[in-house]
Amino acid sequence: MPAQCTSRQRPTARLLPLAAASAALTLYARWIRPRLLTWGATRDEITGAYPGDELVPDPDGTSTMAMTLPAPPETVWAWLAQMGYDRGGWYSWDWLDHYGEPSADRIVPEWQNLEEGQRLNVARSSRSWFTVARLERNRTLVLRSDLNVPSGHSFDPQSDPLPRARVGGIWGFHLRPTSDGGTRLVVRTHGTGRPRPLTRPFDLLLGEPAHFIMQTRQFHNLRTRAGGESLGTSR
């Protein structure tokens, strides 16, 4: 009799890990993921339209994150304008996206002249870059990326053949003045990939959590830098 009970319990025991995994996925999908994708943003910011959204009209994924910074838009803009691997860095986790080299802690005048179409290198090789897709000084900066999978090298969708496997999207920074002299910084992303059965699971499991980790760190570092800003200094 005890042996029969043990035999009957085994299928139930084998189902427990599956049930736990299913519960964890449900918790992530319904509660954690929506908060990661909208960290700090108001309902109006989440549902609002921003310049650059039209560049990815049918995104597979999107996020809207925001923070209020203790400096006017022109000060925050000066830090954003000098982003780039071989420029001021990205103000995030430098050991992950800047080969361990610290991001700039000063405004460098020669890095302030951005223009649409300009490429901002992502890595040392110069084979991966963001393109400045939309620019309105002190208000809007939209960076676009189109990458070959699995090489991770950039391509120009306007002139290069489309790779069979690819990911792309926008990373938009939108600055709005606040009534107390600060800046509301809203960061909007739209992303897409092909083939979707390959790229979408990767984005859900790795891309979105990684963006949350890097973006919140960038918010923190921009807040620290902008709050103690002294324009006109050099690195």
Two tokens, residue 95: 């050991």
pLDDT at position 126: 86
Task: Note down pLDDT in tens along the chain; length 235 residues.
Answer: 555 555 555 666 666 665 555 555 565 566 788 999 999 999 999 999 999 999 999 999 999 999 999 999 999 999 999 999 999 999 999 999 999 999 999 999 999 999 999 999 998 888 999 999 999 999 999 999 999 999 999 999 999 999 999 999 999 999 999 999 999 999 999 999 999 999 999 999 899 999 999 999 999 999 999 987 543 333 3
CA distance 132 to 189: 14
What pLDDT sits at residue 228? 74
Structure tokens at 214: 């890097």
Percentages (nearest 5) of helix, strand, coil residues in the chain: 40, 25, 35
Query: How much is the pLDDT for 25?
Result: 55
CATH code matching the domain that covers 41-227, chosen among 3.20.20.70, 3.30.530.20, 3.90.1150.10, 3.40.50.720 = 3.30.530.20
User: Which tokens in the block code for residue 11?
Assistant: 């299928």
Instruction: Show Cβ contacts of residue 135 under 8 Å, excluding neighbours closer than 6 positions.
Output: 114, 115, 116, 141, 142
What is the distance, to the nearest Å, from the Cα of residue 158 to the centroid of all Cα atoms in its chain?
Answer: 23
